[in-house]
């Protein structure tokens, strides 16, 4: 018997979700009432894969809910679709935290469902489960298309669209979560450096100021560490960075770069890394500069390090 890898089995399951009756027949076969798992690779895979079983069960519940909605009279389908937009069952099946589709998307889909007239030609259905061998995709007989209420198909399309967008949002949420974790770790490291600086009896702290003299952050350093902190900077546009420099005698010496974590910009490190640079004199400045190209733009923030 040909066996399915997970990706191929998942694709076949997605085919079944487009035909509620075929999915229902598959569920019956999976439960052992009909069909042979020894002869059907999709049944064999899903029977042994908890994730695929959960996905199949969630789609069954979704189809059942849509059918109930479409059989209870005008307007009920829109109300049920509003509930389906939350996709709680499908979130469980995907084993992820629930992410609701955007309200604007939900409203647009529901308006489409409410406005679409009935009696339109439905898409051709996939082959009836049991009339084709899933072990050899693409070799079955296609059942001719049938007419159904356009509203029924629009309801199913609406659910699929909402779930697809929710899946993208899950990935986006995961990316943002990873970024938040990195930013949190960076700020924790900065906080630890600030703590070390302030515990050093010889530490110094000066204000960062804007061009008009308004306090906008701080520079603190000890015999070992330094920290520059501000919440007055906006993230730089693409192709630009905030360069840190110390100016003495009209000559700028670049010493670092500002990094961002949320609304906080920072630069921190050990003075051991800057053995030839001292923070005890001159003007500390931050300017927005191109990543590549000549530099020397006016300072957006400055701090007086003393004489």
pLDDT, greater one: 46 or 251: 251
Q: Is residue 85 part of a domain?
A: yes
What's residue 273's pLDDT? 60
| Gyration radius of the chain's alpha carbons | 31
Q: Would you state the pLDDT for residue 61? A: 67
Give the pLDDT confidence score for residue 241 in this predicted structure: 94
Cα–Cα distance measured from residue 123 to residue 114, given in angstroms and rounded to the nearest whole number = 19
150-199 and 50-70 are packed helices; what angle lies between their axes, rounded to 10 degrees? 130
Task: Give the residue carrying structure tokens 């909605």.
Answer: 69
Q: What is the reported pLDDT for 300?
A: 94
Give, as one character, the DSSP assignment of residue 262: T
Same domain, 234 and 103: no
Q: State residue 56's pLDDT score.
A: 75
Q: Which domain holds residue 265?
A: 204-306
Tell me the C-alpha to C-alpha distance, in Å, between residue 260 and each of 191, 234, 243. Answer: 14, 9, 13
One domain for residues 148 and 10: yes
pLDDT > 90? residue 301: yes
Instruction: Give the residue-averaged pLDDT of 5-16.
Output: 72
- Mean pLDDT highest for which of 77-86, 91-100, 112-121? 112-121
Residues 6+ apart with CB under 8 A from 202: 222, 223
C-alpha to C-alpha distance for 290 and 188, rounded to whole angstroms: 29
pLDDT of residue 280: 66
Ranking 1-5, 28-32, 164-168 by mean pLDDT, the lowest is 164-168
Q: Kindly report, residue by residue over 243-277, the tens digit of the pLDDT.
A: 999 998 888 988 889 998 877 888 887 776 654 45
Task: Please tell me the distance from the alpha carbon of residue 265 to that of residue 245, in angstroms, as a whole number.
Answer: 15
At 240 the pLDDT is 94
pLDDT reading at 165 higher than 70: no
SS3 readout for 86-111: CCHHHHHHCCCCCCCCCHHHHHHHHH
Measured in residues, the chain has a length of 307
pLDDT for 209: 92
* Of 48-57, 106-115, 228-237, highest mean pLDDT: 228-237
The predicted pLDDT at position 145 comes to 42
The domain boundary residue, chosen from 178, 194, 227: 178
Q: Which residue has the tokens 């890394």?
A: 273
Which one is predicted more confidently, 273 or 202? 202
Q: Are 124 and 220 within one domain? A: no
Question: Among 60, 64, 51, which Cα is nearest to 92's?
Answer: 51
Tokens at 15, concatenated = 């085919």
Residue among 204, 232, 208 at smallest CA distance from 220: 204
Q: Give the end of a domain, one of 143, 163, 178.
A: 178
Q: How many other CB atoms are found less than 10 A from the CB of residue 218? A: 15
- Stretch 45-64: mean pLDDT: 71
Ramachandran category for residue 14: left, alpha or beta (phi over 0 → left; psi -120 to 50 → alpha): alpha
Residues 137 and 240 reside in one and the same domain: no
State the DSSP code for 274.
G
Residues 214 and 267 in one domain: yes
What is the C-alpha end-to-end distance of the chain, expressed in Å?
Answer: 83
Residue 82 lies in a domain: yes
> How many domains does one find in the chain?
2
Q: Tell me, what CATH number does 255's domain have?
A: 2.60.40
Do 144 and 26 have their domain in common?
A: yes
Q: Is pLDDT at 187 greater than 80 in this prediction?
A: no
The pLDDT, as a whole number, for residue 245 is 92
User: Residue 65 domain-assigned?
Assistant: yes
Given this model, what pLDDT does residue 124 score? 36
* CB proximity list for 232: less than 8 A, separation 6 or greater: 208, 210, 216, 217, 265, 301
For the segment 30-40, what is each residue's pLDDT rounded down to a tens digit?
777 455 566 67
Residue bearing the bigger pLDDT, 147 or 179: 179
Is position 183 within any domain?
A: no
Q: Which residue has the higher pLDDT, 290 or 119?
A: 290
Per-residue model confidence as pLDDT tens digits over 102-160? 455 445 545 544 554 444 443 333 333 434 333 344 444 444 444 444 444 444 455 55
């Amino acid at each position: 018997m040909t066996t399915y890898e997970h990706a191929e089995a998942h694709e076949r399951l997605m085919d079944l979700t487009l035909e509620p009756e075929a999915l229902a027949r598959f569920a019956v076969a999976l439960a052992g009432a009909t069909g042979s798992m020894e002869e059907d690779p999709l049944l064999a895979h899903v029977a042994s894969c908890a994730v695929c079983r959960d996905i199949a069960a969630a789609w069954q519940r979704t189809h059942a809910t849509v059918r109930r909605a479409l059989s209870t009279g005008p307007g009920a389908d829109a109300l049920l679709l509003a509930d389906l937009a939350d996709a709680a069952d499908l979130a469980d099946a995907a084993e992820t935290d629930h992410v609701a589709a955007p309200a604007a998307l939900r409203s647009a889909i529901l308006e489409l469902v409410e406005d679409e007239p009935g009696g339109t030609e439905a898409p051709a259905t996939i082959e009836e489960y049991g009339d084709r061998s899933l072990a050899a995709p693409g070799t079955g007989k296609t059942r001719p298309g049938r007419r159904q209420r356009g509203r029924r198909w629009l309801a199913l399309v609406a659910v699929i669209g909402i779930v697809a967008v929710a899946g993208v949002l899950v990935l986006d949420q995961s990316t943002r979560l990873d970024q938040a974790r990195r930013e949190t770790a960076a700020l924790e490291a900065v906080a630890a450096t600030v703590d070390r600086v302030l515990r050093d009896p010889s530490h110094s702290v000066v204000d960062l100021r804007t061009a008009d003299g308004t306090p906008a952050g701080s520079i603190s350093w000890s015999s070992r560490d330094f920290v520059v902190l501000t919440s007055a900077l906006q993230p730089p546009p693409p192709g630009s960075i905030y360069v840190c420099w110390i100016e003495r005698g009209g000559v700028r010496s670049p010493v670092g770069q500002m990094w961002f974590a949320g609304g906080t910009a920072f630069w921190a490190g050990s003075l051991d890394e800057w053995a030839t640079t001292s923070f005890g004199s001159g003007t500390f400045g931050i300017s927005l500069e191109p990543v590549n190209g000549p530099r020397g733009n006016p300072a957006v923030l400055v701090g007086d390090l003393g004489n």
